[in-house]
Amino acid sequence: MSFFKKDLTEDLAQENKEITTSIIGKEMTMVGDICFKGKLRLDGTINGNVRGDFLILGATGNVTGDIEVANFTCQGQVDGNVNVKKLHVIKDGTINGRVETSDLSVESGAALNGEIKSCSKDLRLVPGTSIPEKEWEKKLQAIPQK
């Protein structure tokens, strides 16, 4: 397990090296749709749809609307549908709505309330994450070998 966490941490560190081009502070509320290029950090509230490249929703961030971005790191709350290429939901992050992604990682303590659809045909479970490791091993042994 620690090997997996190390890779995840390295991925997040790489993502955070990119320059944040826009910031919406926690005291700010916006009504309407937002389209952006680059990296947006959202600590405030948006009542509308969000489209762009890379969105970081901070712990105080809140979106009521749909999100369609390439990369999305969620620590706040989303009430709407999420369609992204890469999604990372951090502890205390909440998404209430349909999620469609090809790369999903969810930390313990995060909440996904709704339908989750994988855009990838290579969806697989990581041992020990959703079921106990012993049960995982039994399931693997029960699969017929080709």
Q: What is the tens place of the pLDDT at every residue in 17-48?
A: 567 788 899 999 999 999 999 999 999 999 99
Q: What is the model's pLDDT at position 22?
A: 85
- Quote the number of domains for the chain: 1
The pLDDT value given to residue 20? 74
Residue 141: helix, strand or coil by DSSP?
helix
Spatial contact of 26 and 44, defined as CB atoms under 8 Å apart: yes
pTM of the model: 0.70
3-class SS of residue 135: helix
Asked whether 57 and 74 are in contact (CB, 8 A), the reply is yes
What's the pLDDT score for residue 3? 46
**What is the spatial distance between Cα 91 and Cα 9, in angstroms, rounded to a whole number?**
14
Strands (E), 80-131: 82-89, 94-96, 99-101, 103-106, 111-113, 116-118
Position 9: which residue type? Answer: T
| Amino acid 68: pLDDT | 95
Identify the domain containing residue 87 by its residue range.
2-142
Q: What letter does residue 38 receive in the DSSP assignment?
A: S
C-alpha–C-alpha distance, residues 88 and 8, integer Å? 10
Low-confidence ranges of the chain (pLDDT < 50): 1-9, 13, 128
CA distance 137 to 12: 30
